[in-house]
Amino acid sequence: MTEPAATVTVRVPAKVNVQLAVGGPRPDGFHDLANVFLAVGLYDSVSATPAPAPRLTVSGPDAALVPLDESNLAVRAARLLADRHGREPDVHLHIAKDIPVAGGMAGGSADAAGALLACDRLWGTRTPHEELLALCAELGSDVPFSLTGGAALGRGRGELLTPLETGGEFHWVFAVADGGLSTPDVYRECDRLRQAEGRGADAVPEPEPDPALLTALRAGDAAALAASLRNDLQPAAVSLRPSLAETLDAGLAAGALAGLVSGSGPTCAFLVQDAASAARAAQALLASGTCRTARPAVGPAAGATLV
Ligand SMILES: C[C@](O)(CO)[C@H](O)COP(=O)(O)OP(=O)(O)OC[C@H]1O[C@@H](n2ccc(N)nc2=O)[C@H](O)[C@@H]1O
Ligand SMILES: Nc1ncnc2c1ncn2[C@@H]1O[C@H](COP(=O)(O)OP(=O)(O)OP(=O)(O)O)[C@@H](O)[C@H]1O
C-alpha cells in the first residue's frame, strides 16, 4: 500500500441535542437514550502528518484546556485504528480547536472522528464506513454522530444512528460558559434528582423520540422545533451550575424562540428565526454578562469531511 506523504486535514462539526430523552441507568453504567442530534457549523480541524513517533499539538484560544497525553480522544482514535490494521500510530496529529471544551457540544468526539478519518486516509488503510462507525462507537457514544453529521436519531447509548431528514436550515446562538461540566457527573446528578423526586430507575419510562419534533425537523419549521426542544439532562446541568438559569433567561430576553442546555452542558443553545436574529441575540447575550462568548451557527452541518 502506498502512503501519501502530505498532511491530511479533516473538518468536523459540533452538535446540539434537540431532544435528549434519558432512560434509567443500565447495568453497564450508561443510560439508554432517544437522542436527536443536529450537527452545527462550529468546527474543529484535525490534521495528520507522517512522523517518526506519535505526537499531538493543539491550537486555538482554549488549547490549554485540552489534554495532550494518551487520554486525548484523537490520540486514542489513532491508536485504535493503527492497532486494527497492525501498524504503528506514527503520526503527528494537530487539532485546531474551535468547539468549546467540555461544553456539551461533543468537541472531543469530533476530534476522535476527525483523527480516524484523517489517519485512515493518510495511512491508505481504506477502512469500510461501517467499520469506521464501529471504531467510533468504541471511542465514545457521541463519536459515530460526529463522523456522520447532518441530523440523526441515536438509540442505545446514542451510538446506534438512524439519519433524519431536515427540511431546511436552523439558526442557533450558543452561549459558551466559563469552565466545563463533566458528562458522567451530569448523568449521575440526573439519576440523583430523579431518585430524590421518587422516580427511581424502575419509574423512568423508555426514552422515545417525539413525533412532533421529528415532523418539525423534517419541515424545517423553526417555531415548531422551538416548541418541542427537550433535554432531560438540563435540570441536572442547572443543579450543578445554577447560573445557567440566568443564561437561559437572558437568551429568551434576547429574542430567541427557545433555549436549552446543549447535551450535558454548560453551553446553552438558543434557536432563533434567522441569521439577523442570531446576530442580535448573540450581541444581547454577550452584553447580559451571563456567558463568556456567544457564537451564531447554522445546522444541519456536514459530518467529518476531508479538506
Ligand atoms: C450527553 C451527550 O453528549 C448527548 O449526546 C452524550 O450522551 C455523552 O456522550 P459521550 O461524551 O460520547 O459519552 P461517553 O464517552 O460514551 O461516556 C462518558 C460517560 O457518560 C455517561 N453516559 C454517556 C452516554 C450515555 N448514553 N449514558 C451515560 O450514562 C457514562 O457515565 C459514561 O461513562
Ligand atoms: N480532543 C479533545 N478535545 C477536548 N477535550 C478532550 C479531548 N480529548 C479528551 N478530552 C477530555 O474530555 C473532556 C470532555 O471534553 P469534550 O470537549 O469532549 O466535552 P463535551 O463537549 O462536553 O462532550 P460531550 O458533548 O460529547 O459529552 C475534557 O475535559 C478533556 O479532559
Residues 6+ apart with CB under 8 A from 4: 121, 122, 124
User: Residue 104 annotated as binding?
Assistant: yes
Q: Which atom of ligand 1 is nearest to the CA of 156?
A: 26
pLDDT in tens, 194-218: 999 998 777 899 999 999 999 999 9
In 3-state terms the chain splits into helix, strand, coil percentages (rounded to 5) of 35, 30, 35
Cβ–Cβ < 8 Å for 37, 9: no
End-to-end CA distance of the chain: 22
* pLDDT at residue 199, rounded to an integer: 84
Task: State phi, psi for 116 to the nearest 5 degrees.
Answer: -60, -50
| pLDDT at 182 exceeding the cut of 80 | yes
CA 143-112-173 angle, to 5 degrees, is: 65
Cβ–ligand 2 distance for 265 under 6 Å, the answer no
- Is the Cβ atom of 58 under 6 angstroms away from ligand 2? no
> Are 149 and 303 contacting, i.e. CB atoms less than 8 angstroms apart?
yes
Question: Is the complex ipTM higher than 0.85?
Answer: yes
Tens of pLDDT along 127-157? 999 999 999 999 999 999 999 999 999 999 9
Q: Please report the domains of the chain, with CATH numbers, ordered by start residue.
A: 8-165 (3.30.230.10), 170-298 (3.30.70.890)
b or e along 126-152 (b: 16 or more beta carbons within 10 Å of the residue's beta carbon)?
ebeeeebbebbbebbbbbbbbbbbbbb
Check residue 3 and give its pLDDT: 47
pLDDT above 70: percentage of residues in the chain: 98
Determine the atom of ligand 1 nearest the C-alpha atom of 20: 4
As annotated, the active-site residues are 15, 142
Q: What is the DSSP letter of 302?
A: B
Q: How confident is the model at residue 298 (pLDDT cuts 50, 70, 90)?
A: very high
* Orientation angle between helical segments 129-139 and 107-123, nearest 10 degrees: 140
User: 281: closest CA among 243, 247, 231?
Assistant: 247
Say what the pTM is: 0.97
CA of 277 to the centre of ligand 1 (A): 32
Is residue 40 within 8 A of residue 302, CB to CB? The reply is no
CA of 10 to the centre of ligand 2 (A): 18
pLDDT digits (tens, 9 = 90+) for 10-63: 999 999 999 999 999 999 999 999 999 999 999 999 999 999 999 999 999 999
Per the annotation, does 107 bind a ligand? Answer: yes
